[in-house]
Structure 1
Amino acid sequence: MTRELPYVAAMNEALHLEMTRDEDVLLIGQTVGEEHYESFKEFGSARVRVTPISETAEIGMATGAALAGKRPVVDATMAEFLLVAMGQVVNEANRVHYMTGGQLRAPIVIKAGYGFAAGWAGQHTSAPYGMVMGVPGLKVALPSTPADAKGLMATAVRDDNPVLYLHHFLLLLERGPVPEGEYLVPFGVADIKRPGSDVTVVATGWTVHRALAAAERLSDEGIDVEVIDPRTIAPLDVETILASVARTGRLVLVDQATRHASVSAVIAGEVAEHGLSSLRAPVVQVTALDTTLAYSQPMEEYVLPDEGKIAAAVRQVAGVKAGAM
């Protein structure tokens, strides 16, 4: 059975279920005592800990707790805040399992919002997942729907090593069908959000919805677009993308991150190496420009991907086919 839930409620439902299921799951962070975590008070102050305003402290606490056998979930609020504790995220917790020959593990979920493209200017609008997707020992989830938000959270909590769980701020109130009860979405399995035969579009997070809107617009023009959401970028399901490109022969990549620090650039490299013979047109990337977002809505719109830019990119690759016929 499913019912409609906002994205944020789906995330919290998964976490609440996991804390009920496993008493070793902890919730820590600067904001976990606020209203949006009201239902978690039943777990008591021993398991729901408000931390100092220090990302280094909260992630350090989580690493220690994980090594002692707990499963901490850290709400770091914003992805930019993680940058001050990056050493612990990419050079400590993620390497423990490997450097102890599997004797120790660090089951930590670090949850943070990203990409607040709503006039929040330079230091609250980043999409920094590209810089961590290749870090050994660190998994990265980017749910785009309420159902995936629930399923990926549950899977993250149960993982025995660190998971960076990034949710887009502008998706938090979006509603969608969510399964009741226990629900898990496996890591490394992409989801075809819309099947199609003419062009493959791979989009992440918030841009998935922009891609779906563009696909609906293009269907009226006779272009059948397949939209794929990787859901996790580490591990990345390259096989599903390659299979789609083999069917369509054309690929557009959509990513809110800046072009040269994007998931799209990595996917483009994989397709160039393993799927070049399938391509009937050059790959086109629709990403943010390589610049800091300005405190200006027109400038913000100029820099970021949107439905119109995606549609134009799809027409471009489809037009190569038409011109060659």
Structure 2
Amino acid sequence: MMGLEEAPLSLANAPTKRLNMIEAINDALDIMMERDPNVVVFGEDVGYFGGVFRATAGLQKKYGKTRVFDTPINECGIIGAAVGMGAYGLRPVPEIQFADYIYPGLDQLISEAARLRYRSAGEFTSPITVRSPFGGGIFGGQTHSQSPEALFTHVAGIKTVIPSTPHDAKGLLIAAIEDNDPVIFFEPKRIYNGPFNGYYDKPVEPWARHKDSEVPEGYYRIPLGKARVVREGEAMTVLAYGTMIHVAEAVLAEKGVDAEIIDLRTLVPIDIDTVQKSVEKTGKCLIVHEATRTCGYGAELSALVQERCFYHLEAPIERVTGFDTPYPHSLEWAYFPGPVRIGEAVDRLLKA
């Protein structure tokens, strides 16, 4: 198995294929299971059925029921078993069917997985990658649409990763599986099949026509803790991740604003150097995320930017987020940051 320090496949020369995010995730799992016999995949309906979103389709048939298997509806048991497997020497990749159902496993993640390396003075590690679809956009209601990423960024010892493209989903997932610490890998299900521009009444653009659907074949990894500059600009810096990258990009393009967009990709560890460099250049910062506002990840971003870039800021930092309410199924599209609220924040920054 290729070590963490070994140079990855040269992406410049690799053949590519067009994949949506689900297919890219399936490809990453397939590659890692073939490369490393210690990688095991399990969760509710991931085996014979191939997962509720088909992200594990075909893996059980290829690798057998001992490496890809179904579990009872018991998130605490799923994550608890993964912690034990990791300590034993396996690299488990459990799936929690929806992020909303991860809460019964919080104690296992926080009290066991996150602390195992420290409690054992490095004798044991917890190399588990917990995959889970998160966020809204599929009319899933209050128990299938939440965005709990901020809960995990608060826990020392856990890494939190959120891709926004098929290309990144594959490379980040491979890196997460190879990592020796627990990783929460949230998949924005609203863009599983294509990026969304923020309007309810406009169609989703399929990944088949999107530049970031060109996914290199074979093994490659994107290092955790490295942000992506989606586009360079001078007017302001926009910090986002997951679905909100595409929403913000569409709004800024429609308004003709020369903004620099940073896709964080990894919330913990965060690539604060890239963020700081951008904000120091533009002097203005807009943060966009789908989760609720109070104590959301945007609050930490705002604090980091203020601490590091105070003397470069030309305007107050703006945040556009979900509202501080239980997830409103019937008002889902009003809850999301969209063209109106993002546009108003952009206008305020431009006038400042």
Q: TM-score, with normalisation over the residues of structure 1?
A: 0.95
Note if 1:25 corresponds to 2:2.
Answer: no
User: Which string of whole-angstrom CA distances, capped at 9 and with x for unpartnered residues, describes residues 154-195 of structure 1?
Assistant: 001100111000001111112211111111011111101111
Shift of 1:318: 0.9
RMSD of aligned residue pairs (Cα, Å): 1.1
Note if 1:237 corresponds to 2:271.
Answer: yes
Shift of 1:274: 1.1
Pick aligned residue for 1:163 from 162, 170, 183: 183
Note if 1:318 corresponds to 2:350.
Answer: yes
- 1:211–1:310 CA contact under 8 A, matched in 2: yes
AA of the residue aligned to 1:261:
C
Note if 1:38 corresponds to 2:72.
Answer: no
Note if 1:181 corresponds to 2:218.
Answer: yes
Aligned to 2:159: 139
Consecutive unaligned residues of structure 1, counting only runs of 5 or more, are 321-325
Shift of 1:218: 2.2
Aligned to 1:306: 338
Q: Structure 1: how far apart are the matches of 2:250 and 2:289?
A: 15
Q: Structure 1: how far apart are the matches of 2:255 and 2:25?
A: 32
Q: Structure 2: how far apart are the matches of 1:205 and 1:290?
A: 20
Q: TM-score, with normalisation over the residues of structure 2?
A: 0.87
Note if 1:193 corresponds to 2:213.
Answer: no
- 2:26–2:57 CA contact under 8 A, matched in 1: no
Q: Structure 2: how far apart are the matches of 1:38 and 1:289?
A: 35
Shift of 1:74: 0.3
Aligned to 1:252: 286
Q: Structure 2: how far apart are the matches of 1:140 and 1:14?
A: 18
Shift of 1:81: 0.8
Pick aligned residue for 2:322 from 288, 313, 318: 288
- 1:218–1:225 CA contact under 8 A, matched in 2: no
AA of the residue aligned to 2:267:
I
What number of residue pairs does the alignment pair up? 315
- 2:136–2:332 CA contact under 8 A, matched in 1: no
Q: Between Structure 1 and Structure 2, which shows a larger proportion of strand residues? A: 1
Aligned to 2:240: 203
Q: Between Structure 1 and Structure 2, which shows a larger proportion of helix residues? A: 1
Identity value in percent: 34
Shift of 1:119: 2.3
- 1:168–1:205 CA contact under 8 A, matched in 2: yes
Q: Structure 1: how far apart are the matches of 2:190 and 2:178?
A: 26
